[in-house]
Amino acid sequence: MKHVYGPVPSRRLGQSLGIDPIPFKTCNWNCVYCQLGRTSPLVNERKNYFPPAEIVSEAVAAVKAHRPEEIDWITFVGSGESTLHSSLGAMIRELKAMTQLPISVITNGSLLYLPEVREELLAADAVLPTVDAGTDIIYRKINRPAPELDFARFIDSIAQFREQYLGKLWIEVMLVQGLNDSENALQDLAAVLRRLRPDEVHLNSPTRPSCEPWVKSVDEQALGRAQRILGEVAKIVRPAHGDFDLTGFDTVVDAIIAVITRHPVSEEELMRLLAKWQPDRVRESLEDLQSSGRAQVVTRDDHRFWSCVEARYINENLSRCLDGNAHNQGPQI
With 0-12 / 13-18 / 19 or more C-beta atoms within 10 angstroms meaning exposed / middle / buried, residue 18 is buried
In degrees, to the nearest 5, what angle opens at C-alpha 29 toward C-alphas 153 and 34? Answer: 135
Select 146 or 229, whichever has its Cβ closest to ligand SF4. Answer: 146
Q: Does 81 bind ligand SF4 (CB under 6 A)?
A: yes
When binding is defined by CB under 6 A, the residue of 10, 44, 82, 108 that contacts ligand SF4 is: 108
Q: How far is the CB of 251 from ligand SF4 (least distance, A)?
A: 29
For the chain, the first-to-last Cα distance in angstroms comes to: 44
Quote the strand ranges of 131-206, DSSP E.
168-174, 200-204
When binding is defined by CB under 6 A, the residue of 10, 15, 16, 30 that contacts ligand SF4 is: 30
Q: Does 128 bind ligand SF4 (CB under 6 A)?
A: no
Of 6, 151, 116, 125, the residue nearest 71 (C-alpha): 6
Q: Does 39 bind ligand SF4 (CB under 6 A)?
A: yes
When binding is defined by CB under 6 A, the residue of 4, 8, 22, 31 that contacts ligand SF4 is: 31
Q: How far is the CB of 309 from ligand SF4 (least distance, A)?
A: 17
Q: How far is the CB of 30 from ligand SF4 (least distance, A)?
A: 5
Is the CB of residue 151 less than 8 Å from the CB of residue 141? no
Is the CB of residue 259 less than 8 Å from the CB of residue 25? no
Q: Does 82 bind ligand SF4 (CB under 6 A)?
A: no
Alpha-carbon gap, residue 90 to 94, rounded angstroms: 6
57 to each of 94, 268, 333, how far by Cα in Å? Answer: 10, 34, 47
When binding is defined by CB under 6 A, the residue of 7, 80, 129, 264 that contacts ligand SF4 is: 80
Q: Does 172 bind ligand SF4 (CB under 6 A)?
A: no
Of 236, 154, 168, the residue nearest 202 (C-alpha): 236
Q: Does 29 bind ligand SF4 (CB under 6 A)?
A: yes
Pairing of strands 234-236, 303-307: unpaired
Q: Does 44 bind ligand SF4 (CB under 6 A)?
A: no
Of 34-42, 247-255, 277-285, 301-309: span binding ligand SF4 (CB under 6 A)? 34-42
**Residues of the shown chain interacting with ligand SF4 in the complex, contacts defined by CB under 6 A:** 27, 29-31, 34, 36, 39, 80-81, 108
